[in-house]
């Protein structure tokens, strides 16, 4: 399977279909995942905990690879994401980027930057325009 096809399959199965068994199938163990919170996740079990927590807050996820590049085992993808708030049904949309290394058909290393601030603003967990407030030096409190 090509790197692009593996990334497309990952986002479809894990996020759109909420099939957490895909994590065990497609992620090496150990594997390191960065940028999805304060801790580095080491392997499928850590990532499943993250996925369960996030999928508890959003549903009806749709993903689209907007841009994709690869260089040997390494890839970079810009992802567009739409979903709804799990409790509120509020529509949300945000983007993210992931750069990773695929070895023997499995994700071995990933570096992520997703716009969770926008997602959490849309879910009502952060005030609207949080970034503007922070850039102005004002406190959110």
pLDDT of 141 over the 80 cut:
no
What confidence category does residue 140 fall into, taking pLDDT thresholds of 50, 70 and 90?
confident
> Domain for residue 141, yes or no?
no
> Domain for residue 49, yes or no?
yes
What confidence category does residue 22 fall into, taking pLDDT thresholds of 50, 70 and 90?
very high
> Domain for residue 139, yes or no?
no
What confidence category does residue 17 fall into, taking pLDDT thresholds of 50, 70 and 90?
very high
Q: Number of structural domains, the chain?
A: 1
Other Cβ atoms less than 10 A from the Cβ of 100: the count is 24
DSSP type of residue 7 = H
User: Cβ distance 17 to 10 under 8 Å?
Assistant: no
| pTM > 0.85: yes or no | yes
47: domain CATH number is 3.10.450.50
> Domain for residue 99, yes or no?
yes
> Domain for residue 102, yes or no?
yes
Arithmetic mean of pLDDT over the chain: 95
d(CA 94, CA 106): 26
What confidence category does residue 37 fall into, taking pLDDT thresholds of 50, 70 and 90?
confident
User: Cβ distance 83 to 67 under 8 Å?
Assistant: no
The residues, any chain, with a CB within 8 Å of residue 64's CB and separated by 6 or more, are 79, 80, 81
d(CA 122, CA 81): 13
The whole domain housing 62 covers: 3-132
> Domain for residue 137, yes or no?
no
> Domain for residue 138, yes or no?
no
In percent, how much of the chain has pLDDT > 90? 87
Sole residue written with tokens 């260089």: 71
């Amino acid at each position: 399977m090509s790197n692009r096809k593996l990334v497309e399959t990952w986002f479809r199965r894990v996020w759109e279909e909420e099939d957490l068994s895909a994590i065990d199938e497609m992620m090496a163990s150990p594997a390191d995942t960065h940028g999805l919170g304060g801790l580095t996740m080491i392997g499928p079990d850590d990532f499943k905990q993250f996925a369960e927590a996030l999928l508890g807050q959003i549903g009806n996820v749709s993903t689209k690879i907007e841009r994709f590049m690869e260089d040997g085992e390494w890839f970079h993808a810009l992802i567009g994401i739409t979903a709804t708030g799990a409790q509120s049904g509020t529509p949300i949309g945000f983007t993210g980027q992931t750069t990773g290394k695929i070895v023997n058909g499995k994700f071995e290393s990933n570096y992520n930057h997703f716009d969770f601030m926008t997602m959490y603003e849309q879910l009502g967990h952060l005030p609207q325009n949080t970034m503007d407030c922070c850039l102005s030096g004002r406190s959110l409190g």
